[in-house]
């Protein structure tokens, strides 16, 4: 596939338009003032409110023990082979606490709940930042009908910008091939602008935050 | 008048008085308006956000070639393949090649207007590869054998009853299916396609120069599904989608959401920086980015309209436009409709066939008011009109009528000699043809202004 010619052609047309010499009509805008509302009362409460406003669920736990109790309780109706988890650390935690789950490829297609970790949580928008880095990969963040995310309280940041900066710092040697900001369960409003949850991705999203 | 303009007039005439169409559009847009109003409240200073976005996009335009090269360099480092396409033909040739080389049978496509622009579906189907639209709205119009009606909401022209009827006919689902049931049905059908497809195609909402990344915004999760299972990920992006830095997404993502759908932030905002990495468990083996020019660099040479390249395709100007709301998306007969479509299409497909679109505007200014990147759309529409006139592309009747009118009206004495009744009669045929039978021209006053002025002045002097 030859493409050098087209590249030069396109770039030279852009150069010849000489827009570089045209002064910008808009002055450099004020870059210091805030454009988004403050985080109130605190990041944790703000995250919970925002995530719930987009039909997500947020459950706060004070300790790992409490997290285990809560998980056991919400997962009680699901058989072990319907709960899928690829994350080694989480798997150990589930094992330790006698919560059944599967890692068998054969169970992937029929899973009902998928459990993953995450990179960050964004308070202002109620977003969960996930990436292809780590054991879960890409499929586990979009395929499960119900997505459980386990996060520590210190993964919480205020704004989208903050998460982007932290990501760049964390992956200074190169970003994971995919990073996604997820804000609520998958949705569509393509039929008469009626909101329907669970278009192609998870129908439900639970975020468990523990200390 | 060209056949395109003729077709436009006829279609506009028909649909403007179609009450069903009007009701559906008004219903959908009123829901959008409500959501947008709420979305605005999420901002502390929306107008400053818009100014910043406008300024970043203008900065991008004055450094366009440098940023594109920077993007390419970084994308290559990330292991992507970058292909430059000067027109749709070349873009399609690239895609055809990829399909053939990889013996692809099934391609899943997430919503992208750029793929509509190059008519990707037709091209790959011709060589025996099935192409499936996976965005629910796009899926609906594909099943109906239609084109997207709106750049953000493809099936906006259909009511839920319309869609239930369509699905009943095509898939034998219950005729009274609810939106939930229909969505669930499509989910089931498409899950099988996602997991077995050879190629996943997405557009790009932003190309990130500093990290060589591609940002894709979506609500349904179909873009993530399309890029998590197939072994090849193809991105087709207009070259104007570039922004300098990944950090700018903190500004652009919420802005796109609040103007596109009224959400605070769209459900899934993803950044792709290449195929599966060595230490990753899944993902495509190959990622190809096709950078499409197709008239964009030419639009850039235009001293007025180049600013239209700042567009982030949010769709707000369509929803605000009284003409769009009246004649609907199909009447434009273009990939990009509404005010922004009327500005850019003549550059992509010629003034001869698409210059008339710039005349289909009341220049009310609603579009410029809502635009998140402050594109002066009415000014650009006016400039396009000027170009059409200068290129002698207006219909003969209009040119003649204008000539006669200017002759008659600029000659005060001759004009005053004619009695108002005759003036009305003389202009009637022109009014009827040019103004349309459904609009009323103001009639000439019984006494012209200049006559009255002179008379009043005399009376004044007498006093
Ligand atoms: S011109 Fe402005 S309002 Fe219209 S689609 Fe583009 S960015 Fe949105």
Domains, chain B: 1-41+305-394 (1.10.1060), 62-294 (3.40.50.10420), 399-462 (no CATH)
> Which residues have CB under 6 Å of ligand 1?
B 259, 311-317, 340, 370-373, 375
Confidence (pLDDT) at B42: 86
Query: Parallel, antiparallel, or unpaired for β A127-131 and A178-182?
Result: antiparallel
Confidence (pLDDT) at B40: 85
Confidence (pLDDT) at B152: 77
CB contact under 8 Å between A37 and B293, yes or no, is no
Helix (H) or strand (E) holding B361: none
The residues, ordered by sequence, that sit 6+ positions from B418 with a Cβ below 8 Å of its Cβ are: B426
Best to test chain B binding among A30, A199, A203 (most B CBs inside 10 Å): A199
Whether the predicted pLDDT of A23 surpasses 60: no
Best to test chain A binding among B30, B268, B308 (most A CBs inside 10 Å): B268
CB contact under 8 Å between B49 and A186, yes or no, is no
Confidence (pLDDT) at B377: 96
Q: What are B292's strand-pairing partners?
A: B85, B238
In a domain? residue A148: yes
Q: What is the mean pLDDT of residues A23-27?
A: 54
- Per-residue pLDDT in tens (0 to 9) along chain B, 463 residues: 578 888 888 888 888 888 888 888 888 888 889 988 988 888 999 999 999 999 999 999 989 999 999 999 999 999 999 999 999 999 999 999 999 999 999 999 998 889 989 999 999 999 999 999 999 999 999 999 998 888 777 888 899 999 999 999 999 999 999 999 999 999 999 999 999 999 999 999 999 999 999 999 999 999 999 999 999 999 999 999 999 999 999 999 999 999 999 999 999 999 999 999 999 999 999 999 999 999 999 999 998 899 999 999 999 999 999 999 888 888 888 888 899 999 999 999 989 999 999 998 889 999 999 999 999 999 999 999 999 888 877 776 667 666 666 766 676 666 666 666 666 666 666 665 556 666 666 777 777 787 888 888 888 877 6
In a domain? residue A12: no
Asked whether A129 and A162 are in contact (CB, 8 A), the reply is no
In a domain? residue A16: no
Range of the structural domain that residue A105 is part of: 39-210
ipTM > 0.85?
yes
Helix/strand/coil for A18: coil
pLDDT tens column, A132-149: 999 999 999 999 999 999
The residues, ordered by sequence, that sit 6+ positions from B120 with a Cβ below 8 Å of its Cβ are: B92, B95, B109, B131, B201, B236
Confidence (pLDDT) at B463: 67
In a domain? residue A50: yes
Confidence (pLDDT) at A20: 61
The residues, ordered by sequence, that sit 6+ positions from B99 with a Cβ below 8 Å of its Cβ are: B107, B124, B127, B129, B199
Confidence (pLDDT) at B370: 95
Alpha-carbon distance of B155 to B141, in angstroms, equals 6
pLDDT tens column, A49-85: 999 999 999 999 999 999 999 999 999 999 999 999 9
Asked whether B246 and B213 are in contact (CB, 8 A), the reply is yes
How many residues are there in chain A?
211
Quote the ligand 1 centre to B316 CA distance (angstroms): 6
Alpha-carbon distances of A162 from A39, A71, A171, B344, B454, rounded to whole Å: 13, 30, 14, 36, 72
Any idea which residue has 């053939």 for tokens?
B100
> How close B364 gets to chain A, by Cα (Å)?
23
Q: What are A179's strand-pairing partners?
A: A131, B271
Asked whether B340 and B377 are in contact (CB, 8 A), the reply is yes
Q: How confident is the model at residue A184 (pLDDT cuts 50, 70, 90)?
A: very high
CB contact under 8 Å between A19 and B253, yes or no, is no
Query: What residues of chain B lie within 8 A of the CB of A142, using their CB?
Result: 221, 224-225, 228
Q: Which two tokens stand for residue B56?
A: 């970043």
Alpha-carbon distance of A184 to A207, in angstroms, equals 10
Asked whether A45 and A195 are in contact (CB, 8 A), the reply is no
Asked whether B339 and B317 are in contact (CB, 8 A), the reply is yes
Q: Over pLDDT 90: what percentage of chain A?
A: 82
In a domain? residue A78: yes
Half-sphere exposure of B79 (CA within 13 A, CB side): 17
Alpha-carbon distance of B435 to B219, in angstroms, equals 43
> How close B126 gets to chain A, by Cα (Å)?
20
Query: Going by CA atoms, what residue is nearest to atom 3 of ligand 1?
Result: B371
CB of A91 less than 8 A from some CB of B: no
> Which residue of A27, A180, A196 is in closest CB contact with B270?
A180
CB contact under 8 Å between A139 and B228, yes or no, is yes
Confidence (pLDDT) at A26: 53
- What pTM, to 2 d.p., does this model score? 0.90
Quote the ligand 1 centre to A2 CA distance (angstroms): 34
Half-sphere exposure of B158 (CA within 13 A, CB side): 28
- How many angstroms from the chain centroid is the CA of residue A109? 21
In a domain? residue A26: no
Query: What residues of chain B lie within 8 A of the CB of A56, using their CB?
Result: none
Alpha-carbon distance of B314 to B335, in angstroms, equals 14
In a domain? residue A116: yes
Atom of ligand 1 nearest to the CA of B318: 4
Q: Which two tokens stand for residue A38?
A: 């403050």
- Taking only residues 12 to 31 of chain A, the set having a beta carbon closer than 8 angstroms to any beta carbon of chain B reads 13-17, 19-20, 22, 24-31
Confidence (pLDDT) at A9: 95
Q: Which of A5-9, A30-34, B316-320, B403-407 has the weakest average pLDDT?
A: B403-407
Confidence (pLDDT) at B327: 87
Confidence (pLDDT) at B432: 57
Q: Which two tokens stand for residue B312?
A: 């982030």
Cβ-count burial B414-452 (b if 16+ within 10 Å, e if not): eeeeeeeeebeeebeebbeeeeeeeeeeeebeeebeeee
Confidence (pLDDT) at B288: 98
Q: What is the mean pLDDT of residues A187-199?
A: 90
Alpha-carbon distance of B314 to B219, in angstroms, equals 14
Alpha-carbon distance of B96 to B104, in angstroms, equals 10
Quote the ligand 1 centre to B305 CA distance (angstroms): 13
Confidence (pLDDT) at B358: 92
Q: Checking phi first, is residue A98 left (phi over 0); if not, alpha (psi -120 to 50) or beta?
A: left
Half-sphere exposure of A17 (CA within 13 A, CB side): 23
DSSP state of A193: T
- Kindly identify which residue of chain A lies nearest to residue B51, measuring between CA atoms: A29
Which residue, B270, A62, A96, A92, is CA-closest to A115? A92
CB of A2 less than 8 A from some CB of B: no
CATH, residue A43: 3.40.50.10420
Cβ-count burial B152-168 (b if 16+ within 10 Å, e if not): bbbbbbbbbebbbebbe
Helix (H) or strand (E) holding B151: none
> What total number of domains does chain A contain?
1
């Amino acid at each position: 596939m030859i493409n050098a010619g087209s590249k030069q052609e396109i770039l030279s047309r852009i150069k010849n338009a000489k827009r570089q010499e045209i002064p910008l009509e808009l002055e450099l805008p004020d870059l210091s003032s805030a454009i988004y509302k403050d985080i109130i009362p605190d990041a944790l409460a703000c995250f919970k409110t925002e995530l719930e406003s987009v039909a997500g669920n947020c459950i706060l736990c004070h300790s790992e023990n409490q997290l285990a109790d809560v998980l056991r309780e919400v997962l009680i109706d699901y058989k072990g082979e319907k709960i899928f988890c690829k994350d080694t650390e989480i798997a150990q935690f589930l094992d330790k606490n006698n919560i059944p789950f599967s890692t068998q490829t054969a169970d992937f297609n029929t899973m009902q709940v998928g459990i993953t970790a995450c990179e960050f949580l964004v308070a202002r928008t109620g977003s969960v930042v996930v990436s292809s880095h780590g054991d879960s990969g890409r499929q586990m963040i979009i395929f499960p009908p119900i997505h459980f995310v386990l996060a520590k309280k210190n993964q919480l940041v205020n704004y989208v910008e903050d998460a982007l900066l932290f990501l760049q710092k964390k992956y200074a040697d190169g970003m994971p091939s995919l990073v996604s900001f997820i804000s609520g369960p998958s949705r569509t409003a393509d039929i008469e602008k009626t909101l329907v949850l669970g278009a192609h991705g998870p129908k439900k999203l639970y975020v468990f935050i523990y200390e | 008048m060209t056949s395109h303009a003729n077709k436009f007039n006829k279609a506009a005439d028909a649909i403007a008085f179609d009450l069903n169409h009007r009701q559906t559009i008004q219903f959908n847009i009123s829901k959008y308006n409500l959501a947008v109003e709420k979305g605005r409240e999420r901002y502390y200073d929306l107008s400053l956000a818009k100014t910043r976005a406008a300024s970043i996009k203008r900065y991008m335009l004055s450094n366009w070639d440098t940023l594109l090269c920077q993007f390419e360099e970084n994308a290559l480092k990330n292991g992507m393949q970058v292909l430059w396409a000067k027109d749709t033909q070349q873009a399609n040739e690239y895609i055809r090649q990829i399909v053939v080389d990889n013996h692809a049978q099934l391609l899943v496509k997430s919503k992208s207007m750029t793929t509509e622009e190059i008519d990707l579906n037709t091209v790959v189907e011709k060589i025996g590869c099935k192409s499936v639209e996976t965005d629910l709205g796009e899926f609906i119009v594909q099943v109906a054998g239609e084109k997207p009606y709106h750049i953000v909401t493809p099936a906006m022209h259909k009511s839920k009853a319309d869609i239930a009827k369509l699905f009943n006919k095509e898939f034998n689902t219950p005729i009274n299916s609810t939106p939930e049931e229909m969505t669930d049905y499509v989910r089931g059908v498409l899950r099988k396609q996602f997991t077995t497809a050879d190629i996943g195609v997405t557009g790009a909402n932003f190309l990130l120069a500093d990290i060589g990344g591609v940002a894709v915004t979506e609500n349904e999760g179909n873009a993530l599904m399309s890029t998590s299972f197939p072994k090849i990920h193809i991105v087709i992006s207009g070259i104007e989608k570039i922004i300098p830095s990944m950090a700018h997404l903190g500004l652009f993502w919420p802005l796109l959401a609040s103007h596109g759908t009224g959400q605070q932030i769209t459900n899934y905002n993803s950044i792709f920086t290449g195929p599966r990495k060595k230490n990753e468990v899944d993902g495509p083996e190959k990622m190809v980015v096709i950078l499409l020019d197709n008239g964009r660099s030419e639009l850039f040479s235009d001293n007025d309209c180049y600013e239209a390249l700042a567009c982030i395709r949010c769709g707000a100007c369509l929803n605000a436009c009284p003409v769009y709301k009246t004649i609907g998306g199909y009447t434009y007969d273009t990939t990009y409709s509404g005010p922004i479509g009327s500005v850019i299409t003549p550059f992509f497909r010629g003034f001869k066939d698409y210059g008339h679109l710039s005349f289909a505007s009341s220049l009310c200014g609603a579009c410029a008011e809502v635009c998140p990147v402050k594109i002066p759309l009415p000014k650009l529409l006016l400039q396009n009109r000027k170009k059409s006139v200068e290129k002698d592309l207006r219909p003969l009747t209009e040119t003649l009528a204008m000539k006669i009118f200017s002759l008659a009206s600029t000659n005060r004495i001759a004009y005053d000699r004619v009695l108002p009744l005759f003036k009305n009669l003389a202009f009637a045929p022109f009014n009827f043809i040019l103004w349309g039978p459904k609009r009323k021209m103001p009639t000439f006053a019984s006494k012209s202004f200049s006559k009255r002025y002179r008379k009043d002045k005399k009376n004044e002097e007498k006093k």
